Structure 1
Amino acid sequence: MTKPLFPAAALVLALISALVLAAPTARAEALAVQLRGRAPAESAGFLVAQARGYYAEEGLTVRLLPADEAAPPFETLARGEADLAVAWMPIALVARENGLPVVNIAQVFARPALRLTCLRETGVTGAADLRGKTIGSWFGGTEYPLQAWLNRLGLVADGSLSGVTLLAQWPGAEMLRQKQAACISTLSHDPATGEGLVELDPQEQGAAVLEDGLYVLPGTLAGPEAEARLARFLRASMKGWREAVAAPEDSARLILGPDPDPGALQRQAGMLRGIAGLLSATGALDEADYRRTVETLRSGGDRAVLRRDPQGAFTAAVSDRAAPPAAAAPDRDAAPLR
């Protein structure tokens, strides 16, 4: 059973309306950015850009707000406490359908990381074996791509023997070790380790969706000067991300601070090595991958994650300004999203 992402009529609509229409005039060259993800490596590009002074070089004062897993997605954006938010695309599109008109201005990760890791001894060797199994989910919106994947497989999260059961996931792989679930949600750059495990990839069923992107409310995009400011932020951020994945150990040491725990250092560096394969070269959203994401989220009939096709959910104006014309087109080195 999926949990509602936006309880109590989501975020108060009157508050949203006021904030959406207000252009940010008081902080002309200052930006507050809401990060996401439990691990520092998941925000490494922004942290490196801050530490190395790349934002300052672009004439920006940037305040990075740590991820708060307990808060509803986009809460700081809706309250006017952040100008941008990093979020998975399914969460953003559901928020938009529920009345918060967030707009994608850039796609930091061009490839998805979500996986399921399963105990082989439960009989799971592939996605076709998930029927009747219990699956761990982080919820908080991360169940949306999982739900879309299950829809592709014709499975309902109803707790029945013919469907699947979704449980709130414990930290790490404890649910597998204690056999409380057949599968848990994992990330390609932070895999579960151990004997007898099988990793499932939604791309094998054509169910992958885009994840980490940058989102703003329409007021933050008001006018060419606002677009230029956001473009400078994107340019500096992608510079930070490129450095982070090119020098993972140095970057992990930088974001963890002096005298980091050796185990934590190696884990964060390992995650950055994995993120290298997900990263967009410029931050430009590939419209074809966006369309495939929407198609996946719209599949499943009355169980579909999205009820309607989004309108006006992204703009290329910022990423076009951030990159030289020759680099502005999205990469096609990587295979299209499946």
Structure 2
Amino acid sequence: MNTFATRFCMVFAGMTLAFAAASSQAADLQKVTYLLPAPSSLPAFAPWMLAKQRGYYAAEGLDVNFITAKGGADVAKQVGAGNAPFGGGVGDTPIIVRANGIPIKEVAVLGGSSFMHLAIDKDSGVQSVAQLKGKTIGAMSYSDTTYYALLGMLKANGLGKSDVDIQATGPSVWKLFADKKIPALASIPEWTINAELAGVKVDIIPADKYFKSMAQAILVSDKTIKENPALVRGFVHATLKGLRDIVQDPASAAADYIKAIPAYQGKEDYVLRVFKLYNKLVYTGQSRLGEIDAKRLGALQDFYVKEGIVPKAAPLNDLYTNEFIPAK
């Protein structure tokens, strides 16, 4: 055999072995499903997408498949029924669904502040929550936890839901605000950045200023926690590494996030602005990444019970656990 042929065979054999090794590694990964309450392309889910893109799930032996469900309530029902081991919602979710007999807990919350904030169009003349009386406010839905956070903010300022006109038109509600058709929006960071890019001068009022709702949470059934704690721990650790990367280096995280979600190619500045706003408004306020504040959760449950959103309080230990988040 001539030298060229020999080299070709060696290179081909090496490539074959590498492919076989990669295939074997992929085959060794445990396939798991994570249910999202909205499409995976939303920057709100960047910690999860980044954890997959950077191989953090694979390092824990997991091959994660993200599937979009029909909102947070559907996620909770499916996870509680055992149709998926994990799902996403807001930290408020277990308070609501436990009252309906759905056996789930939150095992990590991605940020120590509220997921929702109130965005106000500065040109509307509204300068405070109290001045929204008689005005229109946009919200995603009347059953979403960001809607309940809005009610909490209004109540803290002496307003009930009948004092304002709340329009819930789904995930595209931000467009009404961006088009200046409504003066205020129960918003999340990407919606606010979208509005700013559309030319709206936005005044941001964090929900935490008046009402301490919660950030996004990882939801797991009681059964999975009991029967497969190692799976839960691995998933939580990997996801929190994605969160850590956004907090510590949003520019680098944005670059890899765009590799995971190519629809944002050419929109690097937008993604970075969104990440920075999440860092400022949502991902702040935790001594340990992922840690659930029991006092905050308890006060939130008290509000839900008092407002008749849930019939009675559940024991706090039924709503959450911090046993799976890493030490400092």
> Does the 8 A contact of 1:145 with 1:297 survive in 2?
no
* C-alpha displacement of 1:125: 0.7
**2:92 matches 1:90:** yes
Secondary structure of 1:185's aligned partner:
strand
Partner of 2:203: 198
Name the aligned partner's letter for residue 167 of structure 1: Q
> Does the 8 A contact of 2:130 with 2:159 survive in 1?
no
Give the 3 Å change call, closer, same or farther, for CA 276–251 of structure 1 in structure 2: farther
Give the 3 Å change call, closer, same or farther, for CA 189–29 of structure 1 in structure 2: same
* C-alpha displacement of 1:122: 4.1
> Following the alignment from structure 1 to structure 2, what is the Cα–Cα distance between the partners of residues 260 and 136?
26
* C-alpha displacement of 1:284: 2.0
Using the aligned pairs only, state the percent identity.
19
Structure with larger Rg: 2
Give the 3 Å change call, closer, same or farther, for CA 71–296 of structure 1 in structure 2: closer
- Equivalences for residues 183-222 of structure 1 within 5 A: 183-188=184-189, 190-191=191-192, 192-193=195-196, 194-205=199-210, 207-222=211-226
> Following the alignment from structure 2 to structure 1, what is the Cα–Cα distance between the partners of residues 160 and 303?
15
> Following the alignment from structure 1 to structure 2, what is the Cα–Cα distance between the partners of residues 290 and 238?
20
Partner of 1:6: none
RMSD: 2.8
Q: Going by fraction, where is helix more abundant, 1 or 2?
A: 2
> Following the alignment from structure 1 to structure 2, what is the Cα–Cα distance between the partners of residues 231 and 148?
33
**2:168 matches 1:168:** yes
Give the 3 Å change call, closer, same or farther, for CA 179–152 of structure 1 in structure 2: same
* C-alpha displacement of 1:220: 0.8
TM-score by length of 1: 0.73
Give the 3 Å change call, closer, same or farther, for CA 295–66 of structure 1 in structure 2: same
**2:278 matches 1:275:** yes
Gaps of 5+ in 1: 1-27, 328-338
**2:152 matches 1:151:** no
- Equivalences for residues 1-338 of structure 1 within 5 A: 29-38=30-39, 39-66=41-68, 68-69=70-71, 72-139=74-141, 140-141=143-144, 142-158=146-162, 163-169=163-169, 171=172, 173-176=174-177, 180-188=181-189, 190-191=191-192, 192-193=195-196, 194-205=199-210, 207-223=211-227, 226-245=228-247, 246=249, 247-257=252-262, 260-263=264-267, 265-277=268-280, 278-279=282-283, 280=286, 281-298=288-305, 301=306, 303-311=307-315, 312-319=318-325, 323-324=326-327, 327=328
* C-alpha displacement of 1:186: 1.4
Give the 3 Å change call, closer, same or farther, for CA 315–71 of structure 1 in structure 2: closer
Give the 3 Å change call, closer, same or farther, for CA 110–177 of structure 1 in structure 2: closer
TM-score by length of 2: 0.75
Name the aligned partner's letter for residue 227 of structure 1: P
